[in-house]
Amino acid sequence: MTDVLRRGRGSLAVAFFTQGVAFALLVTRIPAIQDRYGVSDALLPAFLAAVPVLAGVGSVGTEWLVRRVAPSAVLRWSQPVVLLALLGVGAGGRMAELAIALGVFGLAVGALDASMNMLGVSLQRSYGRSIMLGFHAAYSLGGILGASLAWVGAHWELALGVSYLPVVAVLLPLCLVGSRWYVDGEVSAGAGAAGKGAGGGVGFGVLLPLCLVMTFAYIGDSTVSNWSAKYLQDVLGSSEQLATVPYNVYMVTTLLGRALGDFGVRRLGAVAVVRGGALVAAVGFAVVAGAPGAWVGMLGFTLLGLGLCVLVPQTFAAAGRLFPGASDAAVARLNVFNYVGFLIGSPLVGALGDAWSYRGAMLVPMVLVLVTLVYARSFAAQPDRYGGGHERPRTADVGRGSNGL
């Protein structure tokens, strides 16, 4: 069983890594996508908003789907669709083709994100200690590679299709092969088990604080992913090539924070880690808003990566603790607020930037991230009763044996 879990953990990390590459390749080339399809600045927020809306639909659909099939099956087939949709974004030439490709990308991403985190939550329960931050660290590592490849594409002025095709050609077979070792875990071991656990046992009132934290975290994250390139180029006067760097820097520090985060949670507890992350992120937004030039701006994005990186993985982990018999449903519903954050954050920053200033717009996610401090108690650990023997039983952020992830 230990070998099965380890293979499942490794294959799921590959899935997170692949998704990080795909998403970074999309968001860091937004200026190039605008130019290719002739999308105006006024229309861009609508295109950016369509992806999270459809992803939310995909996440809701996944909650229904995993009552009938295992989450691993949803992940196995949604990931190739995401990669092919990314290729479609790079290969099209008309705005209608862009809309179709982004629509498919959004629906598949919703199913992909929900099913990945369902498997992560159930694996953490089986391990009996914090491992969720490690999966999200793999996502960050993929984001670094994707942003680096985007920089190469911008530097050499490569067409989007030329940039995307080799990546998809490598990652598509990799994720298909890796999907052979997915482990659905104790709660979602198959279609029948998923059906028992994914029902109506998720109380929205109990889940609401985590939904708000998820929303605020992704408002911050979407501000970086969707606006950092334009902010550096239009507000701080950088070149297009340099404008691809902030997201890469953000992902590097996110990777660092998540790589060390599980250790921090075990030693200090989830509450302390979440509070510290929120404070560091708020400082990062303040630095970005007041930056006199591109390099100081990148310092702010560096702090944002270190601060925001812990919030989302710990929010999923806390949802699994609160609803042990319905963790798939809890994760799927909580994942919707990932996209609510993107839906609010992207047009909000754009609208405030146009009506007021982009510097002022950066203060809004700063305030929202600080509100996370009010809900930090929702991440409090409960006594651990695991002792399954898979790894060391000592843990600070996983729940009771009957109330586990």
Give the residue-averaged pLDDT of 85-103.
94
Per-residue confidence (pLDDT) for residue 1, from 0 to 100: 54
pLDDT of residue 73: 96
Element (H, E) at 214: helix 204-230
User: CA 67 from chain center: how many Å?
Assistant: 24
pLDDT in tens, 109-120: 999 999 999 999
Q: What is the pLDDT of residue 243?
A: 80
What is the per-residue DSSP string for 24-49? HHHHTTHHHHHHHHT--TTTHHHHHH
Higher pLDDT, 395 or 56: 56
pLDDT tens track for 147-187 = 889 889 888 888 999 999 999 999 999 999 999 999 986 54
Domains of the chain: 2-379 (1.20.1250.20)
Does residue 194 register a pLDDT over 70?
A: no
Position 186 scores a pLDDT of: 55
pLDDT in tens, 343-388: 888 778 888 988 889 999 999 999 999 999 999 888 886 543 333 3
Q: What is the pTM of this model?
A: 0.84
**Contact between residue 5 and residue 119 where contact means Cβ atoms under 8 Å apart:** no
- In contact, 222 and 341? CB cutoff 8 Å: yes
Mean local confidence (pLDDT), 38-42: 87
DSSP string, 66-125: TTTS-HHHHHHHHHHHHHHHHHHHHH--SHHHHHHHHHHHHHHHHHHHHHHHHHHHHHHH
Give the pLDDT confidence score for residue 3 in this predicted structure.
Answer: 87
**Average confidence (pLDDT) over 40-63:** 88
Q: Would the pLDDT of 400 be above 60?
A: no
Cβ–Cβ under 8 Å, residues 310 and 273 = yes
Interatomic CA distance for residues 119 and 286, integer angstroms: 36
Contact present, 319 and 267 (Cβ < 8 Å): no
The answer to whether the beta carbons of residues 341 and 217 sit under 8 Å apart is yes
Residue 251's pLDDT is 80
Q: Tell me the pLDDT band of 18, cut-offs 50, 70 and 90.
A: very high
Give me the pLDDT at residue 143, please. 87
Pairwise pLDDT comparison (16 vs 31), residue with the higher score: 16
Q: What span, in angstroms and rounded, lies between the C-alpha atoms of 147 and 144?
A: 5
Residue 126 vs residue 325, higher pLDDT: 126
pLDDT at residue number 191: 36
Higher pLDDT, 225 or 171: 171
Q: Residue 272: what pLDDT?
A: 92
